[in-house]
């Protein structure tokens, strides 16, 4: 796709062109979704990205942490997780390797007490 943004400064019109695609290169969590409260035993799933070489999953008790779970690179789009800490807000970082570049999406969910 192509877009042109016009801006008028004084009496002079200027523009800038850009190209972009509509296909995402970053996977996002499908389950559990942000804000959901789930069992301490859960299957975490995410959408597949065409052309992705792999995914990583980190779950932590603070943003950016992986003190609860660190899943190494894999090609599957789900992982069974057991014994998550109960009654806890958990932070998720999902990595997608696409075109030789790692990109990340972030989410949170809670576990039942």
pLDDT tens, the chain, 113 aa long: 667 888 888 888 887 777 655 568 999 999 999 889 999 999 999 999 999 999 999 999 999 999 999 999 999 999 999 999 999 999 999 999 999 999 999 999 999 99
Report if residue 76 sits inside a domain: yes
Please, which residues have CB within 8 angstroms of residue 12's CB and are 6 or more apart in sequence? none
Each residue of 16-38: pLDDT tens digit? 777 655 568 999 999 999 889 99
Report if residue 47 sits inside a domain: yes
Strands annotated E in 20-88? 29-31, 37-38, 42-46, 52-60, 69-74, 78-81
Number of folded domains in the chain?
Answer: 1
Give the domain CATH number at 55: 2.60.40.10
Q: Which domain holds residue 101?
A: 24-111
Q: Residue 62 half-sphere exposure, CB side, CA atoms within 13 Å?
A: 1
Report if residue 6 sits inside a domain: no
Extract the tokens encoding 21: 């695609």
Report if residue 46 sits inside a domain: yes
Report if residue 72 sits inside a domain: yes
Report if residue 16 sits inside a domain: no
Report if residue 89 sits inside a domain: yes
% of residues, the chain, pLDDT over 90: 75
**Nearest Cα to Cα of residue 21 among 49, 54, 45:** 49
Partnered with residue 96 across adjacent β-strands are: 55, 103
Report if residue 38 sits inside a domain: yes
């Amino acid at each position: 796709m192509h877009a042109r943004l016009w801006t008028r400064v004084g009496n002079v019109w200027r523009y800038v062109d850009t190209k972009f695609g509509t296909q995402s290169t970053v996977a996002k969590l499908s389950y559990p979704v942000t804000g959901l409260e789930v069992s301490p035993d859960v299957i975490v799933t995410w959408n597949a990205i065409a052309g992705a070489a792999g995914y990583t999953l980190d779950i932590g008790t603070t943003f950016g942490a992986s003190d609860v779970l660190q899943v190494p690179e894999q090609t599957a789009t789900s992982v069974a997780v057991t014994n998550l800490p109960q009654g806890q807000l958990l932070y998720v970082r999902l990595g997608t390797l696409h075109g030789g570049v790692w990109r990340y999406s972030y989410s949170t969910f809670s576990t039942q007490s």
